Structure 1
């Protein structure tokens, strides 16, 4: 083993988050009420009135009407409920493909209400199953004709995947309702109205070096009006303006017209999550170009200033002290300290002269005010071709710092391109492998699988990322999460339903790399040559000066086990026990599932090193890590 003098960046393996596949609302964000503020285009979406006659204007039990506050502000609508029959009127919220509740768990109910006329004495909330059995209940007593928030907590007596919320009223009259909300108390770090604990735990377990947010194409929007605007996602949750999710009708095979963004998880929460996990925050901002696969709408160059100012203000929001305008906003949200943001991305998957022209304006303004901030640029949506070559040529001339590359390709492509970065210019921009995943069928096909063939091929490819750590500074699989009943895109790294979640084999590969990233790159060869596919083997090696370990990663893509003889000459590792972590599966089509979440996962073993030589057998179709104390 020979030290190359190349450092492994702490950001080498990270997480790419995008609100696709119900990853935020209905997923990471633990709110259980869908359309809690009646802001969807069809404002009754998610709400049912089972006891009302929808075709009669003379409602016997009551009626739900949507009223506009005003066109101004973020919270445009509220619901007006007229209760004509004490205990007769029922309002149901269906949740995000139902609501997952757990026996013995505590839940927080809150609602804004204002009494208008009559005397409604109680608003009752029940969590019910499909047979109308009550699993938990509470109530609040509205006592004001002005808007006021009421809160109550209760327990649930039975676990249910497809629960719903049932709201009834005691008394008769008219009352206004808004921000009807239900959260589990057991959130990540116990934060009130926070994040779903099991999903964040899967992310935290990866020990990610960075968190890229809020996504890819969602940054751009299908139109400029529908783009992600970070300033609308901070401050009081009630004042965050909701938006149609750009993925809701993107694919004919998975239309989801009820897919919206409440921004309950916004830029503050992303920064906070990054800090929780010890990951560098990496926000990506639009550059004045809507998604070029959709409208490709452009902001004229002479109207670009507000977009550039958004980038400058974001840096102030993240890092500015409390004497700055945006630093005060952050402090008011409970974080007076800087988030110490080091990176910012400008544009997601844009290409062509329009992108380069706009990127230059952003770069000039950011570097003039914040020269220490590292800017991530993009090379377009493909790993080769005219867009890619033009983008790289232009960005290299500009001495760009980090260029984001994306590739969604078949598994064989990943095995065949493990040497992708061997020939990259060592003096040029560094690389962010920002979105990649093996596609078992085709890009965006609903038939793509998170199978072992895809994950093993990615493991082989990642030896090439590691071997080229002087070029590749960041990397992340994409997309991150998918709801089992609310997805638009496959494959995805983590799958979840309303109660459970699991990491795919792809997740396990990412986790093995990220938790064994090391600090310094070592040279590992066979007969003086890099190990890239010869005899089906791929390999990389690092040392970790913090743990005093030599870490060797080997991927065997053949259908037979292979004996390995690894010399650690040049290191201090001559004798002793070796920790082994191996993930292997004979069936390349095998997948993990809710029923078998750890079917394909690393198993611990051991080996022995004698006189500086490690003699082991790597199983067929396996990814193994050998950890040798130095």
Structure 2
């Protein structure tokens, strides 16, 4: 094997490679179809869903009203009241006669003037987007404690408050909570619309659960964001977190039972990422989403301990039954017969057939004695009642070091089935560790790489990050007998409402785009065979500031259904590479092939709302290929070759 030493004065490794040192490198990829490797895991590429960056509230959840039930820490956040001049009225948040035990706050107006206009408005998240002619479904719970003698109207308005659609809710209102629903159809399209409720009359009137949905939604989910997930074709959905599961205290830890049932009866919760969770998308909706995507649901449960990174609170060992029972009840909810206690609740929600979940995870980024003492309580209880369920053990936040090594020692000595690793690393680390899983013990636990991403300079969603992730993914795929699941994280980011970067998908009120990492994830998932084919590459190693890197990264697999040999090549360097590919005679190439590439001249290129397709795959058809041919691979590129064969 030849080697080249390149010394850089710059920190990042891909910018200043010596052109002369790498000019016309001679690489040969030998593919040996007679030597089959492991089967590729059918669950290898999935998604991880956590409500961070307003991924759910203000994101996939299509609710257009912010703080619809006045339950935020600031109960009037997002709401604005305007009183006509000389109007005698007050408004306040009250709790004495709530809508229900879980929705305890509501907004009341006490009005003395009967001929003055009062407006209550909400502009959602950076304005409410409206489409001309589309129907919007408005609902609200109203109560009049002291007889209100005027009319209440609701309108969709422009930023000036001028109505684009308006309907009356009536002039007589009960002293008990009643739900009012109307459809609104705006006259114009707007990006900065708002909802306005107007009152003109005297008395006391109260509002709760003020809601607005576009008629075009799927189970309460925003269609364009859902389509981005559909395009990924994930094999699994890990939900609902993440640190969200743990909470920053046990009081606000995620409890799945709070997230099912009628929307107005779901108990909202503070989100440890700095905002509020409506639970409009709860565990039932996550199961429906997984089913819709054809993906395996991977629910994660609190292990009786809040986030250790934020200063953990631990449930006493003699009080752990609540948390263990929480898991057992969910399995019955998901898998139990429709006449069981929790299975009947699933059936009442509209899904009489079981979801047949196969996996659960206990804990997120937990470690140490406190976690190791609590995990067996869950495992013993679940295995006793549901021995068919596979239980995923949590690794720590780190992907190396003392706590990581201790977690693996405990997992191996205690017969753990799957260990959840998380990996957020700089691009250089990704390139240096593509063979990480080559060395893992095949007789021990399997790996779910539940969260990973390359964190490039400024944690931007650059092509650089995506390419180095692709290099790592060649190692995941090659070792999918041990790495059976992997998911990029986080999934979504709402522009202007961010807590974490980088992310796979960016969106605002009306637009959405996939990052270069999104396109790499889709490219790999769309082009994965059934079994790994042995291959070897004559390589030219590169030394940069004392570290060695490969010139090219690759993995080969075979798809028995389509009879195609699939070769993935990652070139993380600026120079193009000529590669001779030699395929053993056990398969015969027909001559037809398809080459799909993601590349750009500038490795720091990103997609944006202004240029959402700056970095995206391009496909070229090829013909007249044989079992031996030479191709040139662009610099800064991820490429998939699909070669048609006569069969294997």
Identify the TM-score tier after normalising by the shorter chain.
Answer: over 0.9
Measure the CA separation in 1 of the matches of 2:302 and 2:539.
46
**Equivalent residue for 1:521?**
532
Aligned mates of 2:190, 2:116 — CA distance in 1:
25
Q: Give, in angstroms, the shift of residue 324 of structure 1.
A: 0.9
CA contact (8 A) 2:539 2:552 kept: no
| Match status 1:154 vs 2:180 | no
* C-alpha contact (below 8 Å) 1:115/1:142 kept by paired residues: no
Aligned pair in 2 of structure 1 residues 400, 49: CA closer, same or farther (>3 Å)?
Answer: same
Which of 477, 496, 503 is equivalent to 2:488? 477
Q: Kindly indicate whether residue 630 of structure 2 is the aligned counterpart of residue 602 of structure 1.
A: no
Are 1:625 and 2:640 an aligned pair? Answer: yes
CA distance in 2, matches of 1:41, 1:68: 14
The change in CA–CA distance for 1:363 and 1:169 in structure 2 (over 3 A counts) is same
Equivalent position of 1:31 in the other structure: 63
**Could you tell me which of 203, 208, 218 is aligned with 2:244?**
218
Q: After the TM superposition, which of the residue ranges 499-508 and 520-529 deviates more from structure 2?
A: 520-529
1:387 matched to 2:414: no
SS of equivalent to 2:391: strand
For structure 1, which segment, 212-221 or 173-182, has the greater mean C-alpha deviation from structure 2 after superposition?
A: 173-182
Over residues 507-528 of structure 1, what are the superposed CA-to-partner deviations in whole Å (9 max), with x where a residue is unaligned?
Answer: 1111111122222121221259
SS in 1 for 2:232: coil
Q: 2:336 matched to 1:320? A: yes
CA RMSD of aligned residues (A): 2.1
For residue 498 of structure 1, what is the aligned residue in structure 2? Answer: 509
Q: Which residue of 1 aligns with 2:597?
A: 582
> Deviating runs (4+, > 6 A) in structure 1?
528-534
1:174 to 197, 204, 229: 204
CA contact (8 A) 1:86 1:169 kept: no
Q: Is the 8 A contact 1:439 1:448 kept in 2?
A: yes
Shift of 1:609: 5.2
TM-aligned CA deviation for residue 41 of structure 1: 2.2
- Matched residues in 2 for 1:436 and 1:288: separation? 25
> Which whole-Å deviations, capped at 9, do the CAs of 1:301-350 have from their partners, x for residues lacking one?
11111101111111111111111111011111111111111110000000
Superposed CA deviations along residues 415-444 of structure 1, whole A, max 9, x for unmatched, are 111111010001111111111111123xxx
How far the C-alpha of 1:6 sits from its partner, in A, is 1.6
2:110 aligned with 1:78: no
Offset from partner CA, 1:120-179 (integer Å, 9 cap, x none):
453222222323333333332264412211111122233333322111024433222111
Corresponding residue to 1:351 among 367, 371, 385: 367
The whole-number CA distance in structure 1 between the counterparts of 2:416 and 2:355 is: 24
Of 427, 439, 444, the match for 1:411 = 427
Which stretch has the larger CA shift, 343-352 or 361-370? 361-370
On the 8 A contact 1:608/1:614 being kept in 2, the answer is no
Task: Say whether residues 1:557 and 2:572 are aligned partners.
Answer: yes
Aligned mates of 1:482, 1:593 — CA distance in 2: 12
2:204 match: secondary structure: strand
Q: Secondary structure at the match of 1:392?
A: helix
Measure the CA separation in 1 of the matches of 2:282 and 2:133: 30
Determine the C-alpha separation between the residues in 1 that align with 2:97 and 2:304.
29
Is 1:43 aligned to 2:54, yes or no? no
> 1:563-599, CA deviations, whole angstroms, 9 ceiling, x for partnerless residues?
2222232543322210111000111111001111111
* Secondary structure of 2:299 counterpart: strand
| Structure 2: tracts of 5 or more residues without a match | 1-31
Higher mean alpha-carbon deviation, 118-127 vs 354-363, is at: 118-127
Match of 1:205 among 200, 209, 231: 231
* 3-state DSSP of counterpart to 2:470: helix
1:100 corresponds to which of 92, 110, 129: 129
Aligned to 1:254: none
Q: Any gaps of 5 or more consecutive residues in structure 1?
A: 54-58, 249-258, 442-446
Change beyond 3 A, Cα 1:523–1:37: same
Matched, 1:165 2:192: no
Q: TM-score scaled to structure 2, two decimals?
A: 0.90
350, 357, 362: which one aligns with 1:334: 350
Report 1 or 2 for greater relative contact order, CA contacts < 8 Å, sequence distance ≥ 6: 2
For the pair 1:21 / 2:53, whether they are aligned, the reply is yes
**Secondary structure class of the residue paired with 2:459:** coil
Q: 1:39, CA displacement in angstroms?
A: 1.2
Partner deviation per Cα, 1:79-103 (whole Å, 9 max, x = no partner): 2223434451011113123222223
Tell me how far 1:118 sits from its aligned partner. 3.7
Summarize deviations over 1:62-119 as a string: whole Å, max 9, x none.
3322221468720112222234344510111131232222233221001111233344
* Residue 363 (structure 1) aligns with: 379
CA distance in 1, matches of 2:520, 2:216: 29
Contact 2:540 2:550 in 1 (8 A): no
| 2:148/2:172 contact within 8 Å kept | no
Decide which moves more: 617-626 or 541-550. Answer: 541-550
Q: Distance in 2 between matches of 1:432 and 1:307?
A: 23
User: For the pair shown, which has the larger CA radius of gyration, 1 or 2?
Assistant: 2
Query: Matches of 2:164 and 2:542 in 1, distance apart?
Result: 58
